[in-house]
A and B are shown apart, each in its own frame.
Chain A
């Protein structure tokens, strides 16, 4: 087969799988919610409610497509389209697997391999907020506008801490390419073992960037009706909701690549050698790659499950708490992490960023005890 055709097939299948997983994430979200709240969840459409996403899509398409009278019509349509576009772009640079050997050619299981992969993801994520902002502004509704403004300030605040936590990873692996970062974690050297604080900061920021609970303040129903999508109906609303699930998929994939070794798994060399010995060079390698892809998707699906788990466990933050956490908590912690990681590389002590965890925990405990004492004093007075 022509390598160009194989590449096109890989791009198309990555796109298709992204959409498929996002579709079934909506079903899984309700199932997980049902499980956590001790009820059944969707179980009418198809076996175990498996046809539910299709039914939802049908409902969304046939609802009235309403555009408010004084809305800015083109921007009103442009908002959800942009949200969907940026959400679909992020998974282009993610390495889902090693490579397939087809005849003479080696084909990477990745849509495009660029030497700035992680920056590309970061750039696309930073554009994602425009969909919400433009849609919220174009609706000509005060609540939508407030939701849009919240989305903007939240995304900008958490992008900083996210960038700083990624810098520590880049320092460790010495490359901006996601594939090199993944290959650097070969042999059980997963970055989470060396970057625990970076992982926690990155995960928190990923929740905030995806507008997921506990940081879903742009669509906070109790304060803003529906937030930026108050005026939206039909498939435009569907695009906004669907983009959130695609973002979840993409951020789980990026988390898996950065911190959990991507398609690496313990003992993969032994498996590959056995397969090559018994099935021949190319077939063995291809099957080993297939196992790697399965491992990668298992990690991604667990990441998506974690998003849902948190959503149905934690309540929503207050807005000032969100800003305080971002600016006064995560950014200083991330800077400390970068400094200690740099020192660790200089002194060849890769575990040094664990010290950052201890320092942050120490400061948090100290702060909590001081504020408790203050409260006690205030009560006595």
Chain B
């Protein structure tokens, strides 16, 4: 039963991730990406990581993808106005994708988890996650929050009007 759910979610994630790339309409791409996020959240739930599952939905599906849709709706893209990207950009995209794949493969090959080995099934719950984040990984966590603060300040700086620029 659980295995079937796993396979269903996996196929859903991969197929909709492919559809993100292959759709001609950017709005459809965003909607397929949202389905991908939901499939990933389902995987988190299967791993008993409810907090990660919900936060994934709140942050990615609920906020970031809404902003994506928001911008794309304003751009009003049509098929006639679609720009053919230069071949160099396509090559760069493929190469950077392959580099990411290499990193993931390397990490997975190095990982040493036997199928039957003891794993704490409660590790994904919010209490344990919080304890780990605020004890063992406190410095990276704080650095990440400083990074967010910098990004916020940067966004405000970019959005601010220069003195003398007309208002509205």
Contacts and interface: CB of A to CB of B under 8 A. Distances in A.
Nearest to A174: B127
A119 B45 CA distance: 14
Interface stretch (A129-137, A276-284, A351-359): A129-137
Contacts, number: 62
A209 B16 CA distance: 29
A258 B51 CA distance: 19
Contact of B58 (A115, A119, A148, A152): A119
A145 interface: yes
Contact of B126 (A133, A148, A176): A176
A312 interface: no
Interface string B28-39: 000100100000
Interface in A334-357: none
B73 A148 contact: yes
Interface of A (DSSP majority class): helix
A127 B62 contact: yes
Interface string A145-164: 10011001101100100000
A133 B74 CA distance: 12
A81 B57 CA distance: 19
A15 interface: no
Contacts of A126: 57-58, 61-63, 66
A114 interface: yes
Contacts of A152: 66-67, 69-70
Contacts of A130: 34, 66, 69
A122 B62 CA distance: 9
Contacts of A145: 73
A188 interface: no
Contacts of B69: 130, 133, 137, 152
Contact of A127 (B27, B31, B50, B57): B57
Closest 8 CB pairs of A and B: A126-B62, A119-B54, A123-B57, A123-B58, A152-B70, A123-B54, A116-B50, A152-B66
30 contacts: A75-B31, A115-B50, A115-B125, A115-B126, A116-B50, A119-B54, A126-B57, A126-B63, A127-B57, A127-B61, A130-B34, A130-B66, A130-B69, A133-B66, A133-B69, A133-B70, A133-B73, A134-B31, A137-B69, A137-B73, A149-B73, A149-B74, A152-B67, A153-B70, A155-B66, A156-B66, A156-B67, A156-B70, A159-B63, A176-B126
